[in-house]
Amino acid sequence: MKEKVVLAYSGGLDTTAIIPWLKENFDYEVICCCIDCGQGEELDGLEERAKLSGASKLYIEDVVDDFCDNYIMPCVQAGAVYENKYLLGTSMARPVIAAKLVEIARKEGASAICHGATGKGNDQIRFELSIKALAPDIKIIAPWRMTDVWTMQSREDEIAYCKQHGIDLPFSADSSYSRDRNLWHISHEGLELEDPASEPNYEHLLVLGVTPEKAPDEDEYVTMTFEAGVPKSVNGKEMKVSDIIRTLNALGGKHGIGIVDIVENRVVGMKSRGVYETPGGTILMEAHQQLEELVLDRATMKVKKDMGNKMAQIVYEGKWFTPLREAVQAFVESTQKYVTGEVKFKLYKGNIIKAGTTSPYSLYSESLASFTTGELYDHHDASGFITLFGLPLKVRAMKLAEAEKNQK
């Protein structure tokens, strides 16, 4: 009886070519597993393509709600943004995909899991760390790193290989962007983006929305509600998180929100340039942050910002299934108890503009914040506070002056 391998299958050229390659070089029974994280029409026709390529079975697993509730929302609540720009769309999806691959591998009694990530990218790390954490006994196959047996170096090579094995597929050898899409975002790499000196060809590139220049000339007001840090409604309509993201994607795409051009530092040590479209995610992150401004105290916000940066690093580096991620997430969750209220803003040509925030747990006191003297705040108290707060500065200055005098 042949050993089984579960292949993380997207239906693209790379993973299609891997099917006959696995059978030819390892004599595996290949079980394809496509994880639906909200990539839409990319799933069309996959079963026929997988079977035509030699797979014995195809699983298409819908994990959209799991992805949104258990991976996206912890990052939103943490304010996790990698290098101040990247909202972790690909990074967050890899652990949920890996978990499902392990589940199917266990179900099928497979001895190995195969992925099509390249040897230069971050995804190989994210997939493999997750698999190691969840199933240390399962073998991992990474064709692009196995250069002694994986000899294909281009799309032309892969197409020729498929044809040699009787697989005539509708893939062209034309160059195109390398993209990764899910409900949260779509990423673009390659072509002119490989040169940081080149301006992105947005006319050719954008999928989820338009540039701010092409957005409507009229602004649009949006109202959202949150309960304990979780979004509950958009414009008065209550929805689950995945539908809220879908709604915000449409609004954000329409108004040119969430287009980021970044040169980021990959885990493997190189810099890479890409463009990310995250229209709904950008709105959701901003709305959540606006509400937190009202309800979190200064000290908690300061530490939470550090934890958000730590969470971003953890997720980016593929360390989701670790005690550290669990601990950081537990801290973040403890800060969300009172993040409840309503956020109103308007969208206009790439901008999210505040239009009013309310919360029953707001720490904002109008009497304290105004220029009039409230009963909780005596202006005279500031004198003593400043004396003590500035004491180290004053003592240092005095000591330096004394030392300088003694040297003369």
Domain boundaries, the chain: 4-174, 179-296+335-358
The arithmetic mean of pLDDT across residues 133-149, rounded, is 97
> Is the pLDDT score of 103 beyond 80?
yes
Token couple for 256: 């040119």
Q: What is the mean pLDDT of the chain?
A: 95
Residue 123 is a catalytic residue: yes
Contact 131, 101 (CB under 8 A): yes
Residue from 178, 233, 242, 362 carrying the catalytic annotation: 178
Count each helix (H run) and each strand (E run) in the chain, helices first.
Answer: 15, 14
Residue 381 is a catalytic residue: no
Which pLDDT score, from 0 to 100, does residue 170 have?
75
Q: In whole angstroms, what is the distance from residue 244 CA to residue 352 CA?
A: 17
The class level of CATH for 179-296+335-358 reads alpha beta
Strand blocks (E) in 83-214: 112-114, 139-141, 178-181, 186-189
Which pLDDT score, from 0 to 100, does residue 367 have?
74
Q: How confident is the model at residue 351 (pLDDT cuts 50, 70, 90)?
A: very high
Which pLDDT score, from 0 to 100, does residue 40 have?
82
Cβ neighbors of 129 (< 8 A, separation 6 or more) are: 317, 318, 319, 320, 321
The arithmetic mean of pLDDT across residues 225-234, rounded, is 98
The arithmetic mean of pLDDT across residues 210-234, rounded, is 98
Please report, rounded to a whole number, the percentage of residues in the chain having pLDDT higher than 90: 88
The arithmetic mean of pLDDT across residues 138-147, rounded, is 97
Q: In whole angstroms, what is the distance from residue 224 CA to residue 213 CA?
A: 26
Which pLDDT score, from 0 to 100, does residue 406 have?
93
Residue 126 is a catalytic residue: no
Tell me: the pLDDT tens digits for 153-176?
Answer: 888 999 999 999 998 777 777 768
> Is the pLDDT score of 379 beyond 90?
no
Which pLDDT score, from 0 to 100, does residue 371 have?
65
- Higher local confidence (pLDDT), 284 or 47: 284
> Is the pLDDT score of 374 beyond 70?
no
The arithmetic mean of pLDDT across residues 248-259, rounded, is 98
Which pLDDT score, from 0 to 100, does residue 169 have?
77
Contact 222, 347 (CB under 8 A): yes
Element (H, E) at 323: helix 323-334
> Is the pLDDT score of 99 beyond 90?
yes
Token couple for 326: 């669990």
User: Angle at CA 62, nearest 5°, toward 60 and 65?
Assistant: 170
Residue 266 is a catalytic residue: no
Q: How confident is the model at residue 71 (pLDDT cuts 50, 70, 90)?
A: very high
DSSP-assigned letters across all residues of 181-208: E-SS-EEEESGGGGSTTSPP-HHHH-SS
User: For domain 4-174, which architecture applies?
Assistant: 3-Layer(aba) Sandwich (3.40)
Which pLDDT score, from 0 to 100, does residue 126 have?
98
Tell me: the pLDDT tens digits for 11-22?
Answer: 889 999 999 999
Q: In whole angstroms, what is the distance from residue 356 CA to residue 338 CA?
A: 18
Q: How confident is the model at residue 221 (pLDDT cuts 50, 70, 90)?
A: very high
Residue from 36, 53, 91, 123 carrying the catalytic annotation: 123
Which pLDDT score, from 0 to 100, does residue 175 have?
66
Q: In whole angstroms, what is the distance from residue 134 CA to residue 55 CA?
A: 25
Lowest mean pLDDT among 67-71, 259-263, 369-373: 369-373
- 140, amino acid identity: I
The arithmetic mean of pLDDT across residues 382-405, rounded, is 96
Q: In whole angstroms, what is the distance from residue 209 CA to residue 255 CA?
A: 8
Which pLDDT score, from 0 to 100, does residue 234 have?
98
Which pLDDT score, from 0 to 100, does residue 287 have?
98
Which pLDDT score, from 0 to 100, does residue 32 have?
97
> Is the pLDDT score of 111 beyond 80?
yes
